[in-house]
Amino acid sequence: FLLQEKKKKGTSSQSSSTSIVLEYVEGKPPVLTSSALRRCLMDKIRQKYQYDISEHLFREMPRYSTLRSFCLRTGLKVLCRDYDFSTKTPFQMSDVLDLVPLVKHATPDSLPAHKLLDAGRDQIEKGQVENAFECLSQAMVMFQQVKGGLNQEVAECFNLLATLLFQVSDLGQSLLHQHKAFLICRRVEGIDCANLIQMHQLLGMLCNSLGQNEFALKHFYRAKYMCELVCGFDTPDLAVIEYNIATMLQFEPKASLQFFESALKKNKKLLGENHLSVGEIYHSMALSHSSQRDFENALQCEKKALAILKTHFDATHARIQESAKFLEIFTTRAVEQNRFMSRTALKEYEGLNRLLQGRTNFLDRDLFRKKLRHSFK
């Protein structure tokens, strides 16, 4: 069996065709195999985007987020259970619960409101706070009159107003406007949309700026969970979220280092070993190790951060000089710490040695001294 799909682009006579080969067994319906579908997708992407996808991308594809995206775009409703994607048939007919129609609809729009919204963005970039606030306020009122209070444009206006108020250091009003944008986005786009993940991060940053660290961590933990659900476990956005969580967990060094290491692993895989984000994480890990008085590991992390910075900047750059100062401080403290530990160990050894000399009934004192000296080395 051969299925042909043809798509015409505008008035051009050129058309692209994609073939899907179905395996046929006598007495049974035709079967679409995973390898045939993979070849079809690779051909389609090659024809449309002139890009070749390697096989390992299909193996590393996030399974559940891909399934979720497919169901949202096709209207398919499947059973909520733990699917075993390592088998050839992870789905059964009983897993398909329903097929929901996807309806396209047009909403009323306001051209003057969009012009005011664009003007507000331009005024924010130029630093005109009063003009930007006036344009965004008028645009929000017009959107509410035309579309009502719950729509994406009103949420965008609240979001920009929160950004504007944050720039003028009005953190209380900025948090209030950002929370309104968050509520509208959750009602309009759902609880698992990409915009809501961004809203959670912005609310977390504002709460952290106001000293509400507990609420900030709740927002970032929620953003992390939703990002894993929507985008998968290996994305740059997830690495940024984990880095922010680690920065807020400085009072819990062990948990902070775990998030730093997770973000470091993702950035190395996605961005490369010598990316600036990797160097920034190494520097933050060095500071976290130093807060625990673990200057040896702090010194090693700062060396790696400095090596990465040298690949991007000159020796006279401010970031290079700052990293060199931290490296000098960690080196000095690591040497002092080793000397102190050596003196402490020597005192303990001498005390045990005197205690040993006082025991006349100990049979093999020389052997005990050798073991004791070797343990302190």
The DSSP letter of residue 132 is H
* Distance separating alpha carbons of residues 247 and 228, to the nearest angstrom: 20
The amino acid at residue 308 is I
Lowest pLDDT segment from 54-63, 78-87, 338-347: 338-347
148 or 282, greater pLDDT: 282
Convert the pLDDT of each residue in 209-241 to its tens digit. 888 888 999 999 999 998 888 887 888 889 999
- Whether the per-residue pLDDT at 1 is higher than 50: the answer is no
pLDDT value, residue 19: 54
Residue 81: CB atoms within 10 Å: 7
- The C-alpha angle with vertex 259 and arms to 256 and 260, in degrees rounded to 5, equals 85
pLDDT value, residue 361: 47
The pTM (predicted TM-score) of the whole model is 0.74
| Confidence bin at 242 (pLDDT 50/70/90) | very high
pLDDT value, residue 22: 56
- The C-alpha angle with vertex 231 and arms to 230 and 236, in degrees rounded to 5, equals 140
- What does 322-376 look like in DSSP terms, one character per residue? HHHHHHHHHHHHHHHHHHHHHHHHHHHHHHHHHHHHT-TT-S-HHHHHHHHHHHH
Give the three-class secondary structure for 83.
Answer: coil
| Confidence bin at 332 (pLDDT 50/70/90) | confident
- What does 224-280 look like in DSSP terms, one character per residue? HHHHHHHH-SS-HHHHHHHHHHHHHTTTSHHHHHHHHHHHHHHHHHHH-TT-HHHHH
The amino acid at residue 275 is H
